[in-house]
Amino acid sequence: MLRAIFRFLYKTLLKPILFLFDPETDHDLFTKIGEFFGKYSLSRKVVRAIYGYHGPDISKTVDGIHYRTPILLSAGFDYNGRLPAILPSLGFGGAEIGSVTLRPCEGNEKPRLGRALKSKSLIVWKGLRNDGVDTIISRINSKKQQIPEDFVLGISIARTNDQQTATLDEGIADYCGSYQKLVTANVGDYYTINISCPNAFGGETFAEKSRLDALLSKLSVIRDSKPLYIKFPINPPWEEIKELLDVCIRHQVQGVIIGNLNKNYDDLDYREEAPAEFRGGLSGKPCRVLSTELIRKTREYVGKSLTIIGVGGILTPQDAHEKIDAGADLVMLITGMIMEGPHLISDIADSLALRNKV
């Protein structure tokens, strides 16, 4: 009932006001509010009373990790690790922090974020803006007391977005540096290697079989017992995706996240909402079909040998069902929460519970 009221208020009142402002300003404001609410047990309880999932058990264990709900916040929203204390109150079973990089990144020049409202998409030109792995490790550690034990934290690792990591060896050393620090600090329940950021210096150089092979060989020296996932691009042709999957299986990574932003502006419902030239990947609706079809093909190709986390364009509970039916073990989202409202997560959880009953 409370959730229904806030669903109505978000659509009719809050969203029209918020969307008058610059998206990055809104994001920073919400991060500050969310971090503040996460600090206190009372505010966490209030948020949980409004937005939390209170239905039957829909928990799931994947690669030995128990998720209270199979719905996660995707990488890029909480890129500095400020929100893990409040996110469980919204119905999430986990969150992927980051992408983090070895050195702090300023990101690309502003504007770094745009809205394509009619097309239900965000235009993301962030360029891996984040405080760097050391600061983020300390921040997460400082919040440990406020994060429920069964809330899963994944950490997404990307290559620092600057000239110093432009060569293959420097790029690999950069990924390994972050991974080593996280493993040593024992921060995070699983790790994701983001090889597919479309907005970084030098392009997505590790979404290529021989480079991915070289990267995974070096990472394997550091590997601990926690699951390692690879975040895939969704635009390359299937033949190239198959080659990347073969490399993942050969290196015994636990799974893949499908997938990252869509680089094709022709997939927008309203093409005129995007800039004429490429300036950032698309989230939301333009990712939905592409990622779901890729999940389906991947599941057919790899069988049970890889976990699949499905992400891209989940704007309704039905969209989450589609990803799971296509073969995803867990789902993730960002844009749906922004476009539809924070009630979406528990709406999806309710609908999954209903489906389990049928």
Ligand X SMILES: Cc1cc2nc3c(=O)[nH]c(=O)nc-3n(C[C@H](O)[C@H](O)[C@H](O)COP(=O)(O)O)c2cc1C
* Residues at the contact surface with ligand X, assessed by CB under 6 A: 74-76, 79, 98-99, 113, 122, 124, 126, 128, 156, 194, 197, 231, 260-261, 283-284, 287, 311-314, 333-336
94, 102, 13: which is closest to 60 by C-alpha? 94
C-alpha 2, offset from chain centre: 27
157, 95, 161, 100: which is closest to 125 by C-alpha? 161
Q: How far is the CB of 220 from ligand X (least distance, A)?
A: 21
Q: What is the chain's length? A: 358
Q: How far is the CB of 34 from ligand X (least distance, A)?
A: 15
Answer yes or no: are the C-beta atoms of 93 and 152 closer than 8 Å: yes
Q: How far is the CB of 169 from ligand X (least distance, A)?
A: 23
Q: Indicate the residue among 245 and 333 with the shorter CB distance to ligand X.
A: 333
Answer yes or no: are the C-beta atoms of 154 and 190 closer than 8 Å: yes
Q: How far is the CB of 52 from ligand X (least distance, A)?
A: 20
Q: Indicate the residue among 258 and 306 with the shorter CB distance to ligand X.
A: 258
Count of helix runs (H) and strand runs (E) in the chain: 12, 13
Q: Indicate the residue among 44 and 175 with the shorter CB distance to ligand X.
A: 175
Please give the Cα distance from 229 to 63 (Å, whole number): 11
For ligand X, the nearest residue by Cβ is: 76
Q: How far is the CB of 92 from ligand X (least distance, A)?
A: 13
102, 83, 183: which is closest to 143 by C-alpha? 83
Q: List, as one string, the DSSP characters of 109-174.
A: SSP-EEEETTTTEEEE---S-B--HHHHHHHHHHHGGGS-TT-EEEEEE---SSGGG-SHHHHHHH
Q: How far is the CB of 83 from ligand X (least distance, A)?
A: 14
Q: Indicate the residue among 86 and 122 with the shorter CB distance to ligand X.
A: 122
Q: Indicate the residue among 336 and 342 with the shorter CB distance to ligand X.
A: 336
Q: Indicate the residue among 65 and 311 with the shorter CB distance to ligand X.
A: 311
